[in-house]
């Protein structure tokens, strides 16, 4: 359990708790109201999915967490890659894999 405290007025202290769950869904309002605590929890390893009217719109993840890799390739490099001919033996292997397979359960 993660506790976060803030001081709304002089001398008083208001505290609230955030559960540590593997992937927690929170509404945008909770992110807005508790942004500091949520960012601390994300820094500590927690993941949040932020929703607006019940629809997931964003994720808050720990720093350095691997996501889907994004590789941008410029047009010239892509054209160069596509010009390389396919290895003859590899092409034969692909054709063999794509050959139709007989149905072992066919009624015959």
Q: Are 17 and 3 in contact (CB under 8 A)?
A: yes
Residue 90: the pLDDT is 82
Dihedral of alpha carbons 92, 95, 97, 101, sign: negative
At 10 the three-state DSSP class reads coil
Model confidence at 16, pLDDT cuts 50, 70, 90, reads very low
- Find, among 63, 60, 65, the residue nearest to 34 by Cα: 60
Pick the CATH number of 2-6+15-60 from 3.30.70.1020, 3.40.1620.10, 1.25.40.10, 3.40.50.720: 3.40.1620.10
- pTM for the model: 0.43
What is the domain partition of the chain in residue ranges? 2-6+15-60
Distance CA 36, CA 67 (A): 23
Mean pLDDT of the chain, nearest integer? 76
Cβ neighbour number for residue 81 with a 10 Å cutoff = 9
């Amino acid at each position: 359990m993660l506790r976060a405290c803030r001081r709304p007025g002089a001398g008083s202290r208001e505290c609230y708790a955030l559960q540590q769950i593997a992937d927690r869904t929170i509404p945008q309002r909770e992110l807005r109201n508790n942004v500091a605590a949520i960012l601390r929890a994300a820094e500590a390893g927690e993941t949040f999915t932020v929703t607006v009217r019940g629809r997931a719109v964003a994720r808050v993840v720990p720093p350095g967490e691997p996501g889907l890799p994004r590789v941008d390739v410029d047009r010239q490099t892509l054209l160069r890659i596509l010009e390389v001919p396919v290895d003859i033996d590899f092409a034969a292997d692909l054709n063999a894999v794509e050959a139709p397979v007989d149905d072992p359960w066919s009624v015959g």
